[in-house]
Structure 1
């Protein structure tokens, strides 16, 4: 018996040893197998990069497009889809032949809440974390399987439901905490959201549950906002957020407020509304107050000014100096949608622990050129930028002048570092993912290699527009076109195509043309009463706020609707002032 037990034990040890060797071998293949010498795509896949940086398109033409992404320690790529469907909201991709391009792509993540605005995807301690508009999930990663085979855990649920600015960006510290931003469903905490001239509410009640960052347990399931700690406040909308391990602190690049001219046309010009306020790069400590909704940062005057909802006029500073000031004030409306501190070793030493920022590109700088659409780099040391921001990757838009956001070929969204130190960038328009890497002797990288990228700052996508020369609306301001340019173009764009994310297109929209019955009433009612919450336009979901325009006269509403229904590919009948008057009379309070 003892001999048999000994033989059985030895056999068991042999099997276990063989299994361990196989696992180590597989792990070596998946994790340690060096990539081939990567060959850059022609013209770096359309990107302009400094020095000896190169790029390949690792993934192209995802059917659901892409928002954020994360790269695992074995090189597998996970992408949060912009337009999920019933088969899944995420993509898993693997490069099996190590040429820099994914050759295996699978969809997964069939969870219930898959709106178009859900954001963030991070790999943390062996888990894939990702968020929708109202939930944060995680699932255990297994390097032996491409698609995560662990259970889907609900870590955080936002009981408020979907609303404006409800992205759920994620960051993790080194002490077991998860940080989540809760955007505010308002422009500046007005009594009537986005209604021209509406004053702001003093002692803004939204700040109790919105407009800030909350700290949670990174592993505890089924948390709600009440289970977390409000870590920072005064932040209207944050999508770009990361933890800097070099100084053990949280950082964000916050979206500034919108619509200065639209809401206060007597105080602000179209040019002022296009170039203000700044997108603020901020260091966030517990208790930080950035000043929203009372203040915004003026990148021209280099200081915080009082918002017009609270008596500001573009000059009054009030107590703005008391609030957290930005490390860098980026130009207005560039839409910072991801932030990544680079901890890899592949790039030249100057990039170590510096910050990459993905600017998705503006939608509301009309009637001036839209701007942004690039990845910036900010050199860092000891929690402080050591130089000016730089253009690291450009060319995503495919053109130097973007009149309407729909003109942009691609728009950078998410950032992630691969196990070899490559930088991955996702795009929301073509469903594309670039892998940017460095070739050559990185010790010989010099500042001279940045000169060509610095010259790009003179292009329309980056420079501050000239008030007269760069105004696209010149010669277009008559009748309904004038009303459209004044009240509609900042969201729906000059070409009526919207931004494809928050603001829907007007061309072919059933809300504009009345669908197959060609009814005018829906469009008239939307202008008179506004619209808020999830809607479907041309088969795609949107969730934003269309403010009331009942301050316009019957003739003005008829004129702008006639203009819209006769342009952007629409060919619907005109709208008369009497039709508007008739529907206005049916509204509450009339």
Structure 2
């Protein structure tokens, strides 16, 4: 057989192109080699985190204050939104000047004076740093070379939630931006499920729900126009109860968000839902949000175990009825209940292995209302993504934040993952909200050899109590017989204030050592009977969660609960009688 040979003339012509191709390939290789060698060393224990093989983490800062969302500038400067506003400012800026991975300049900034700061959003968009409080979206111009913005902040959007006729429970203001100059901001539901009497057991839901006119959805605004109000925006999507995690996916030019599901199914409908069902339901929904999307709140919730949207009991549901659930937007994934997805980020960098490109990272802040079962969440997951849909099962990407195996009370967790952002070199940054630790996660291995072996250990993490589905019997932490007061406390109060009475450190205040508990008992009885709304101060710290009214309870039940609280968690106060409760009740 004759062998074919290219004509000499073609070979001569091809040589320069082959040389250029070889140089480009070598350049890519050298760039990757240089990048690995310029990345800082990870901490020996990865800052306490468990990560897939060949990933490393370094703690950038250990305790900047209760950290929420964050953003990283193109020069590597880090900006963090704090949960509260301090005299020195409610934002933190960090810079690593010697490139060792540790911030050596940390400065506060932000001259806003919102008393209910509750920081919930921070993003960089077109050389501006945008950040939010509960009611206001601000921005500052970033000046090249300057760590701290030296301009006065601009008010871009104001939400007058304090004067809402419906209430103000879910007032987070996370932010994201598309490629056409629009800013997207959710307006969360002012209550749980649009009941006539919010959070009252057995109370029916309103139909149609009037709250949907101004709440329970996402609004689109002009990203560059100062002084906007909600009416200046356009309702982009509806039927979404509460969003803290959302991001614009530039790969398919679409908004994505995760919904926080409703609370306490067993406390409000004990005949229909067991404590176990209340712990794992309803699902946290990962939604693809297009203009006009309706996800069905408050009429429907998603059950990931049945794979269906079901009718809420306030609207005639019983945990089985589907009603018209199929007509509403279905989630891409239904995660177990109460994991609290608090940030979402689509990875666009090139440092990580190719399988992570355009995939979704989700920070699960962790549950507060799963009692009597272990609290769940407290980790960062990854969802492989392509063409606007997941391409495989979700994975555990980073775990170990809580530093305990079984989280009984929220306060047991040493850290709770909150914000996610990417640096200019493709490193991933994660904040946590307890003390304000910040991690930088880097990949140091061969990108082409990353696969099942590196992920195996992370798959095993799904068997841990903070991630796995709890066993109905074996994982029930409430096995011993309790007094009536303790039993009712666990049922009606413990989900928010926690089994140890220390609160969740965020929305719900501690009862341990609280002047509201150990002081005048009439004040405590009044709060239990009639509820409380608005910011209060407990042990020197502000809280703005909603305390629902419990007038539906008998005087004896409230007396037992009050006596239990006033003599538990280190409290030593007098008992409360049914007559004490009756006198307070009759004053209203």
TM-score w.r.t. length of structure 2: 0.92
The residue correspondences of 1:102-181 to structure 2 (distance < 5 A) are 102-115=103-116, 117-161=118-162, 163-181=168-186
1:23 aligns with none
- C-alpha distance in 2 between matches for 1:504 and 1:146: 35
The residue correspondences of 1:350-499 to structure 2 (distance < 5 A) are 350-499=355-504
2:59 aligns with 57
> Residue deviations 1:254-297, cap 9 Å, x none?
11111111111111111110010000011010000000000000
Partner secondary structure for residue 531 of structure 1: coil
1:12 aligns with none
- C-alpha distance in 2 between matches for 1:482 and 1:287: 45
Partner secondary structure for residue 76 of structure 2: coil
Q: Answer yes or no: is the 8 Å Cα contact 2:84–2:119 preserved in 1.
A: no
- C-alpha distance in 2 between matches for 1:567 and 1:39: 47
> Residue deviations 1:282-332, cap 9 Å, x none?
101000000000000011111000001101110111000100001011111
Partner secondary structure for residue 142 of structure 1: coil
Q: Answer yes or no: is the 8 Å Cα contact 1:116–1:501 preserved in 2.
A: no
- C-alpha distance in 2 between matches for 1:489 and 1:569: 16
1:48 aligns with 50
- C-alpha distance in 2 between matches for 1:433 and 1:142: 24
> Residue deviations 1:173-200, cap 9 Å, x none?
0000000000011100000111111100
1:500 aligns with 505
Q: Answer yes or no: is the 8 Å Cα contact 1:157–1:225 preserved in 2.
A: yes
> Residue deviations 1:533-565, cap 9 Å, x none?
111111111112111111222221111111111
Q: Answer yes or no: is the 8 Å Cα contact 1:186–1:193 preserved in 2.
A: yes
Q: Answer yes or no: is the 8 Å Cα contact 1:232–1:286 preserved in 2.
A: yes
Q: Answer yes or no: is the 8 Å Cα contact 1:334–1:371 preserved in 2.
A: yes
The residue correspondences of 1:256-405 to structure 2 (distance < 5 A) are 256-405=261-410
Q: Answer yes or no: is the 8 Å Cα contact 2:94–2:104 preserved in 1.
A: yes
Q: Answer yes or no: is the 8 Å Cα contact 2:267–2:492 preserved in 1.
A: yes
- C-alpha distance in 2 between matches for 1:189 and 1:505: 27
Q: Answer yes or no: is the 8 Å Cα contact 1:190–1:309 preserved in 2.
A: yes
TM-superposed deviation, 1:447 = 2.0
TM-superposed deviation, 1:584 = 1.5
State which of 214, 217, 220 in structure 1 corresponds to 2:219: 214
- C-alpha distance in 1 between matches for 2:390 and 2:204: 37
Partner secondary structure for residue 161 of structure 1: helix
The residue correspondences of 1:3-42 to structure 2 (distance < 5 A) are 36-42=38-44
Q: Answer yes or no: is the 8 Å Cα contact 2:36–2:444 preserved in 1.
A: no
- C-alpha distance in 1 between matches for 2:477 and 2:275: 11
TM-superposed deviation, 1:439 = 0.6
1:241 aligns with 246
Q: Answer yes or no: is the 8 Å Cα contact 1:397–1:410 preserved in 2.
A: yes
TM-superposed deviation, 1:408 = 0.4
Q: Answer yes or no: is the 8 Å Cα contact 1:47–1:396 preserved in 2.
A: yes
- C-alpha distance in 2 between matches for 1:360 and 1:211: 21
2:523 aligns with 522
Partner secondary structure for residue 67 of structure 2: coil
Partner secondary structure for residue 467 of structure 1: coil
TM-superposed deviation, 1:39 = 1.2
Q: Answer yes or no: is the 8 Å Cα contact 1:507–1:568 preserved in 2.
A: yes
- C-alpha distance in 2 between matches for 1:221 and 1:136: 10
1:6 aligns with none
2:551 aligns with 550
Q: Answer yes or no: is the 8 Å Cα contact 2:139–2:153 preserved in 1.
A: yes
1:582 aligns with 583
TM-superposed deviation, 1:442 = 1.5
Unaligned 5+ runs, structure 1: 1-31
- C-alpha distance in 2 between matches for 1:161 and 1:236: 18
TM-superposed deviation, 1:115 = 2.7
TM-superposed deviation, 1:150 = 2.3
Q: Answer yes or no: is the 8 Å Cα contact 2:363–2:420 preserved in 1.
A: yes
- C-alpha distance in 2 between matches for 1:260 and 1:579: 30
- C-alpha distance in 2 between matches for 1:585 and 1:120: 44
Q: Answer yes or no: is the 8 Å Cα contact 1:496–1:505 preserved in 2.
A: yes
Q: 1:87 to 1:34 in 2, by over 3 A?
A: farther
Q: State the Cα RMSD in Å.
A: 1.4
- C-alpha distance in 1 between matches for 2:250 and 2:119: 26
Q: Answer yes or no: is the 8 Å Cα contact 1:397–1:408 preserved in 2.
A: yes
Q: Answer yes or no: is the 8 Å Cα contact 1:363–1:493 preserved in 2.
A: yes
TM-superposed deviation, 1:33 = 11
Q: Answer yes or no: is the 8 Å Cα contact 2:67–2:431 preserved in 1.
A: yes
1:570 aligns with 571
Partner secondary structure for residue 482 of structure 1: helix
- C-alpha distance in 1 between matches for 2:131 and 2:100: 27
- C-alpha distance in 2 between matches for 1:76 and 1:301: 45
Q: Answer yes or no: is the 8 Å Cα contact 2:509–2:538 preserved in 1.
A: yes
TM-score w.r.t. length of structure 1: 0.92
